[in-house]
Structure 1
Amino acid sequence: MNEASDPSKVVNLSQRLDPTAERVGELLNAVRNIAGKRLQQSIGNAFEHVDDALFDLAEKAENNAAQMHYFDGMREVRKRRPAVERSFLSRVNRDLGELAHPQQRPFGAGASTPSGAVELTLVADNELEESLAITSMTSKHESRLSRDLFAVNQRLSVICGGHKIEDSGNPVAPAGLTQAFRHALHELSADMRVKLIIYKLFDRYVLSSLEDLYQDINTELARAGVLPQLRQEASRGNAKTAGSSDPAQAAAGEEASEIPSDLLQTLHALFSARRGPAAGVHAGPTGPLPSANELLGALSVLQSQIASAGPLPYADSDDAAALSREVMQLKGQLLAQIGALRGEKPGHVASIDEDTIDLVGMLFEFILEDRNLPVAMQVMLARLQIPYLKAAILDRKLFAHRQHPARRLLDGLAEQAKGWSEESDRDHRLHEKIKSIVDQLLHDFDDDMGIFERLLLDLQQFQDLNKRRSELAEQRVAESTRGREKLEQARRRAAREILDRIGGHKLPPLMHGVLARAWANHLVLTLLRQGEGSPEFRGALRFVDEFIASTRPATTPESRHALRQMLPGIERALRHGLANVAFQEQDIERLLGQLHAYYRQQLGEVPATVEATGPEDAAAVLSIPDGIQPVISQDAPVDDDGIDGEVVEVPLDSPEWHQVQALQPGSWLEFCMPDEAMTRAKLSWISPMSGRYLFVNRRGLKVADYSPQELTVLLTDGRARILAGNALFDRAMTAIVGKLSQPDATPPADTAAE
């Protein structure tokens, strides 16, 4: 006979020990000692592997910033490890000591809320991933360790005066240990990515070794006479279900046990809390709950109706809003379809199926409200609600696993759609590809989950091909922009060098024209070809000094002698410099002739006549070849913001300025300029010289380039908007959990009775 079914062997929780007795204190201390030794060893093992794990990730990091996150995390963990271990062990020890005093216990033994659900009702967006990781870990190990943990709970209940202790109230249960560790990690200021790695190691080296801890506790307490005959039989679900002879109930219980108990469990708790205690009461016809096959059959009928109707005629925001309302009415349509198939409309569906229906509905409602997607793409992706509901019923892991093919496919479609605009997709290649994948799911998906993997591969091949094309175009745009910036930088440098040397001198128009036009361009080309540290550039600057000095009045024999000594060098340098900027020989001779006449006047060899050529004639005298523009003018000062450039000033503490400073290449923005169509563009390159931001469309073609100040103004005025960079599914799950966790949130519309 099974001991669990033998009335003489059933555990009687009325058997209790006086919690104030010395014997109880000894037993509880024994449990604390066992837990302390085991946990100290296992938490030490976990931290011994943190360095290696973070170092491996740093080596594989996609960029320097990510690499530094991991290295900073390594340093932080080394420094704070003793404090984290001490906090974790002391909290577990304290909670075990308080088990005999239920009014002081922090866990609330006997609470019906599943592990992690209470935690997630208050979760902030940036803690969602941490909370889901914790929920996943605790659920997995509670199921795996249910037999040993059941016996520990029973024996602790006895020595603590008969106060019933369950998994949620046991400090050494997976949930209790994980929450203690989460509290201890507050000692760390590391990046969340680092903390998630530490959680994985905690899972591997602490939670995975709990069998030994539970066996030690059970052996010690049984040896001390606490329920020595107890068989380690876990309580499996509802007693009515366990003992029921109804095959339908048994099948339902079996199906529920196969559902992943991480994210789905958390959301189930949130949905249940929102529906309230009367959630299972539904008006209208009653009957057996629809089976999974009935749900899938009804969904297939609805799916075929959508597929045969062709593309939906929604094209603007008003129509998308109408479609959003229809998305949340699917539950009523589904029950009506089941009623048509079986002859009677069921009153409601099983809670796990209702949660799945509501969750998928909220996912697609989010898609239709997601401003990161163009309206046309929102509407197209919204047609996938029924195929994804079928997929979620067939495989509950869809919402829990980031690498699930169906999830990756939807994320991939959304990522491609994010950069779509009519202007950048004139050949309709992207639009047709997304439409093709949507149509294939609507027409071909029945129950073969492999279709998601095949379509994902198809999308990735399309993406890779277009990525190669766009990268080539981006490279050409960046190189062209880089070349223009180098030229502009060289022009500014040349202008500053010349103007600094002119200083307060008022040069004759002819001499100013030589420096501002011909020689400035010679300086620019020398900078670009030889660089600022080259002998050629230094020689070109010496010429400027000598040329300016040659304009000073020569009124003494010494000054005239010095000028005559300078003139041959000036002529040689001018011939070389003018040839360098493509002057023709006859133009060079003409200019030298003008200069000879000027210098003869300076030397007093001929009487001074009318001043040589005014500023308006300088270009004619110099015969500047086509395309060669003056670098500076007589009265235009040059500063770091450009010659005659308008400086845009913005407050450096504004949120928009900080947003601009945080932008990284690969970020997408939406631009809405007056009298122009909406444009979506990717930040392709940030100039290391000017700091300007270069934007391209999805084909790699230039859309615009802005200074940080200009971009800040666009963001402030609402003419530009930064699009989210994380995956659609992650954004949706964060929004859904946040929505369900709001105190004033209402449960999803229940149309089951319609």
Structure 2
Amino acid sequence: MQTDAKVVHLNKVAPEQSPASPAGRLPVALIQVRDKAAQQLKQALQALFDNADDTLFEMADRANSNAEQNAFFEAMRDLRLKRKSIERGFLQKVFESFATLNQYEIGKPPQLAPVSFDSLSLVQDDVLEESVALDAMVARVMSRDGMALGHLTTRLNAMITQKLDDKSNPLGPRMLCERFLDACAGLGVEIRVKLIILKLFEKYVLADLDQLYAASNQQLVEAGVLPELKSAPPARRQAPAQPGTGRAARDQAAEVVQGESAGYGSAGEQEVFGVLQELLSHVRGSGAAPRRQMPADALPISSNDLMRLLSHLQQRLPGEIAPEQDDYNLRSQLEQLLTRASAKSGKSRVVGEVDEDVINLVAMLFEFILDDRTLPDSLKALIGRLQIPMLKVAVLDKTFFSRGSHPARRLLNEIASAALGWSGQGDAQRDVLYQRIEQVVQRLLNDFSDDPAIFSDVLAEFLAYTGDERRRSELLEQRTRDAEEGRAKADQARQQVEQALNARLLGKTLPEVVVRLLQEGWSKVLQLTCLKHGVESDDWQAALAVMDDLVWSVEPHESPEDRLRLLELVPSLLKSLRDGLASAAIDPFVTSEFFSQLESVHVQAFQRFKRSLPEVQPEPEPEAVEGATADEGVAAELSGMPMLDLPSIDLDPVVEPPAMVEVVEEIILLAPGETRQQEPEASLPDDDEALGQVDSLRVGSWVEIQEDEEHKLRCKLAAIIKPTGKFIFVNRTGMKVQEKTRMGLAVEFRRGAIRMLDDALLFDRALESVIGNLRKLKGD
């Protein structure tokens, strides 16, 4: 480790130079600047990696889930393994940047990897977040050390043949950030961890660039390069915490980077607006950011004056504004007010450049919002009226563009989230949600002047309302899920019973009463047993055995063994049937009728036995048990007769043969009120794209279903019932509105009748779109 700090070792990371290498033609003073800068950068990188473990460990300690914690631990391990290669790669790229300073290509700005913003999607969020974070880091360095860097760039230009700018300066913040990202390309970490590493790079490397620029400028001054350029000395700052400085320091670092990993908020408070301004500067005069023709003596109005003009327009905002006219009316009316002010003062009054940028950005955001297909059309005009209040907030507080927790942003996001499931069918004015959003809009238009605190109050009230609504809908949604899962279990139990009945009855000819008893009565006993105990239980097997015994008892039997078994079986069989039907709450009158007919069937079987047995003189037996049925009495008497003789009762004249039926069709059990008419369902290949769309649906996803030419239904996937494969959809109140099969959903996706609704935060999606469009225009 002692040799790591030697300058000689740093030179080894540079590639071997050929005699004709451009590095050989670098001035001696520039080589000295390079070597000293490389030494400082190496030490800063070592401090970064020394503290990375502690920071990532603190983040893992604060993780909300095991998966999130494992991601931080894996990042720690990956960073330890690749630390040396990242350090060497970064310094080698810095040396390469210096080595090419006298090459002709140095005049070309560095080219970033092309990013297609035409197809900006959630898959490209990582690229966008990384780019925004990088721009913000560069903006912070430029705002702090821009003059010193500019002097260094000027001195370098005096020593080389081609011209540099601050972006292509090898020691500039943008080049250093890009070189570090290139060196970290092999890290297998997610964007959240990468943003944390970038923040550490800013803290331990970029934070000390003022010292590096001061030292480099001083070296060149001593070498006689433009000594007349005077730079202010770097401000003294507290040294960064060293390893082992305690938990408090690590907590502070973890808190900083935790905020940085949240997306756009990683760009800080004011810096995101600065980045947006920089992007706007490249597109001014285009359709995205129109530039007004201003006289040479135009006098910008103050932000306070602009606020007064906007408040004037806000109080006179029409009750109804068409979404497509909202932006046009605001601009034209503001122009009219400025024209009147100019005529009154005798001087041309215009909006200042910063405020003009704010107006353009808010207009772009609302252009996206009012074009968003996720937002219900019926609410767009209502939400569009918030443009002036949101513009006033942005004029007052530029963190509106960067702080995700800003009350105004949250209010807009909460309104959009609440409206996601709003279908707008019928009289919209009488809908409670519509009325609540209308009240929010009207209160802001009436009461918001220049105190943004009103947004916190309105947000709290709206969250209280949506919280109550959400709890009610979640309760009903849970009941819907429970009912559907119970229904699915009941359907599955019915299918099990159907299989058991058909396996035993299909193709057989049996007494009609037995078929009806099993289909209408015992099937319910089997269903309850299946639901309570399952098909693997002893209770289920016992219920099947009763059914098997009943079927066997009414079939013809000739052997003496079968006759003996029948005499022994009937009493216990009848008891099991009675107990089972009673447990299933079968109507006692229906049960009585079943047993009356079943008695005749069994008596006839006993008569066949009597006719087939030889005449034997029976011994007298006690009287039959009082209260038993004739069937049970006969069975009891027969079971006690050693000679298997029947009592001397003349049954032949009173018993008629039972009605017999042949079970030729499968038995289908229907729930009350159910009609099982299987309509032929369209089929798609297993690799069809529409099936993939269905499989990507997650519980909680919102979709819009085109029911007919005029009606659209917005609903949320509440449950996927696995036993039946049913997809259950509910409306925003939690009530079931649709039930689809996987194939049925795929067919709907295929014909374009179902559209996924993006439930990501509305403002964040709008800001992402604006940044993407501005970058695209800048590239063009």
TM over 0.5, shorter chain = yes
**Aligned match of 1:562:** 565
**Aligned match of 1:394:** 396
Change (3 A) 1:688 1:89: farther
Q: In the alignment, is the contact (CA less than 8 A) between 1:598 and 1:612 conserved in 2?
A: no
2:740 to 706, 721, 740: 706
Q: In the alignment, is the contact (CA less than 8 A) between 2:601 and 2:657 conserved in 1?
A: no
**Aligned match of 1:187:** 186
Distance in 2, matches of 1:382 and 1:489, equals 50
Distance in 1, matches of 2:105 and 2:485, equals 70
**Aligned match of 2:543:** 540
**Aligned match of 1:518:** 521
Q: In the alignment, is the contact (CA less than 8 A) between 1:271 and 1:740 conserved in 2?
A: no
Please report how far the alpha carbon of residue 732 of structure 1 lies from its aligned counterpart in structure 2 after TM superposition. 1.2
**Aligned match of 1:621:** none
**What amino acid maps onto 1:168 in structure 2?**
K
1:720 to 747, 754, 758: 754
**Aligned match of 2:473:** 470
Distance in 1, matches of 2:115 and 2:40, equals 24
Q: In the alignment, is the contact (CA less than 8 A) between 2:29 and 2:219 conserved in 1?
A: no
1:56-455 to 2 correspondence within 5 Å? 56=61, 59-61=63-65, 87-101=89-103, 103-104=105-106, 107=109, 124-125=120-121, 126=124, 127-146=127-146, 148-150=148-150, 152-154=152-154, 156-157=156-157, 160-161=159-160, 163-188=162-187, 190-211=189-210, 213-214=212-213, 217=216, 231-233=230-232, 260-266=270-276, 268-270=278-280, 272-273=282-283, 275=285, 282=293, 287-306=298-317, 309=318, 311-312=319-320, 320=322, 323-343=323-343, 346=348, 349-422=351-424, 428-455=431-458
| Residues paired across the two proteins, number | 669
- Structure 1 residue matching 2:316: 3-state secondary structure: helix
**What amino acid maps onto 2:311 in structure 1?**
S
Deviation track 1:516-543 (CA, whole Å, cap 9, x = no partner) reads 2322211111222334444322321332
- Determine if the alignment matches structure 1 residue 44 to structure 2 residue 49: yes
Change (3 A) 1:208 1:652: farther
Change (3 A) 1:118 1:537: closer
Q: In the alignment, is the contact (CA less than 8 A) between 1:55 and 1:71 conserved in 2?
A: yes
Deviation track 1:661-705 (CA, whole Å, cap 9, x = no partner) reads 222233222233138743322223333543433322222222223
Change (3 A) 1:205 1:232: same
Q: In the alignment, is the contact (CA less than 8 A) between 1:494 and 1:520 conserved in 2?
A: yes
- Structure 1 residue matching 2:717: 3-state secondary structure: strand
Q: Which runs of 5+ in 1 are unaligned?
A: 1-16, 236-257, 315-319, 617-631, 747-754
Distance in 2, matches of 1:644 and 1:123, equals 45
Please report how far the alpha carbon of residue 304 of structure 1 lies from its aligned counterpart in structure 2 after TM superposition. 1.7
Distance in 2, matches of 1:192 and 1:612, equals 77
Q: Which is greater in Rg?
A: 2
**Aligned match of 1:752:** none
**Aligned match of 2:690:** 656
My pick for the range that moved more, 23-32 or 355-364, is 23-32
**Aligned match of 2:642:** none
Please report how far the alpha carbon of residue 172 of structure 1 lies from its aligned counterpart in structure 2 after TM superposition. 3.2
Change (3 A) 1:335 1:263: same
**Aligned match of 1:250:** none
**Aligned match of 1:612:** 659
**What amino acid maps onto 2:741 in structure 1?**
S
Distance in 1, matches of 2:51 and 2:213, equals 19
Identical counterparts, % of pairs:
31
Distance in 2, matches of 1:706 and 1:274, equals 50
Q: In the alignment, is the contact (CA less than 8 A) between 2:526 and 2:540 conserved in 1?
A: yes
Please report how far the alpha carbon of residue 612 of structure 1 lies from its aligned counterpart in structure 2 after TM superposition. 2.2
- Determine if the alignment matches structure 1 residue 20 to structure 2 residue 25: yes
Please report how far the alpha carbon of residue 610 of structure 1 lies from its aligned counterpart in structure 2 after TM superposition. 4.7
Distance in 1, matches of 2:768 and 2:210, equals 34
**What amino acid maps onto 1:23 in structure 2?**
V
Q: In the alignment, is the contact (CA less than 8 A) between 1:522 and 1:580 conserved in 2?
A: yes
- Determine if the alignment matches structure 1 residue 735 to structure 2 residue 763: no
Change (3 A) 1:552 1:184: farther
Distance in 2, matches of 1:443 and 1:91, equals 59
- Structure 2 residue matching 1:168: 3-state secondary structure: coil
1:34 to 36, 39, 57: 39
Q: In the alignment, is the contact (CA less than 8 A) between 1:328 and 1:361 conserved in 2?
A: no
Please report how far the alpha carbon of residue 513 of structure 1 lies from its aligned counterpart in structure 2 after TM superposition. 2.6
Q: In the alignment, is the contact (CA less than 8 A) between 1:290 and 1:350 conserved in 2?
A: yes
My pick for the range that moved more, 377-386 or 659-668, is 659-668
**What amino acid maps onto 2:579 in structure 1?**
H
Please report how far the alpha carbon of residue 150 of structure 1 lies from its aligned counterpart in structure 2 after TM superposition. 4.5
Distance in 2, matches of 1:423 and 1:329, equals 29
Deviation track 1:308-332 (CA, whole Å, cap 9, x = no partner) reads x4x21x6xxxxx4xx4144135333
Distance in 1, matches of 2:718 and 2:760, equals 18
- Structure 1 residue matching 2:470: 3-state secondary structure: helix
**What amino acid maps onto 1:287 in structure 2?**
A
**What amino acid maps onto 1:634 in structure 2?**
E
Please report how far the alpha carbon of residue 548 of structure 1 lies from its aligned counterpart in structure 2 after TM superposition. 4.0
Q: In the alignment, is the contact (CA less than 8 A) between 1:516 and 1:633 conserved in 2?
A: no
Please report how far the alpha carbon of residue 117 of structure 1 lies from its aligned counterpart in structure 2 after TM superposition. 13
Change (3 A) 1:71 1:413: farther
**What amino acid maps onto 1:379 in structure 2?**
A
Please report how far the alpha carbon of residue 341 of structure 1 lies from its aligned counterpart in structure 2 after TM superposition. 2.2
Change (3 A) 1:634 1:690: closer
Change (3 A) 1:216 1:73: same
My pick for the range that moved more, 435-444 or 676-685, is 676-685
State the TM-score, normalizing by the size of structure 1. 0.77
Distance in 2, matches of 1:430 and 1:482, equals 30
Deviation track 1:34-78 (CA, whole Å, cap 9, x = no partner) reads 155225314424642464255246x314xx877777677677767
My pick for the range that moved more, 176-185 or 284-293, is 284-293
Change (3 A) 1:540 1:335: same
Distance in 2, matches of 1:686 and 1:71, equals 34
Q: Which runs of 5+ in 2 are unaligned?
A: 1-21, 235-267, 612-651
**What amino acid maps onto 1:588 in structure 2?**
T
Change (3 A) 1:79 1:289: same
State the TM-score, normalizing by the size of structure 2. 0.75
Q: In the alignment, is the contact (CA less than 8 A) between 1:124 and 1:738 conserved in 2?
A: yes
1:576-587 to 2 correspondence within 5 Å? 576-587=579-590
Change (3 A) 1:498 1:119: closer
Change (3 A) 1:305 1:521: same
Q: In the alignment, is the contact (CA less than 8 A) between 1:523 and 1:537 conserved in 2?
A: yes
- Structure 2 residue matching 1:489: 3-state secondary structure: helix
Q: In the alignment, is the contact (CA less than 8 A) between 1:547 and 1:570 conserved in 2?
A: yes
Deviation track 1:477-516 (CA, whole Å, cap 9, x = no partner) reads 2222222222222222222333345576555543333332
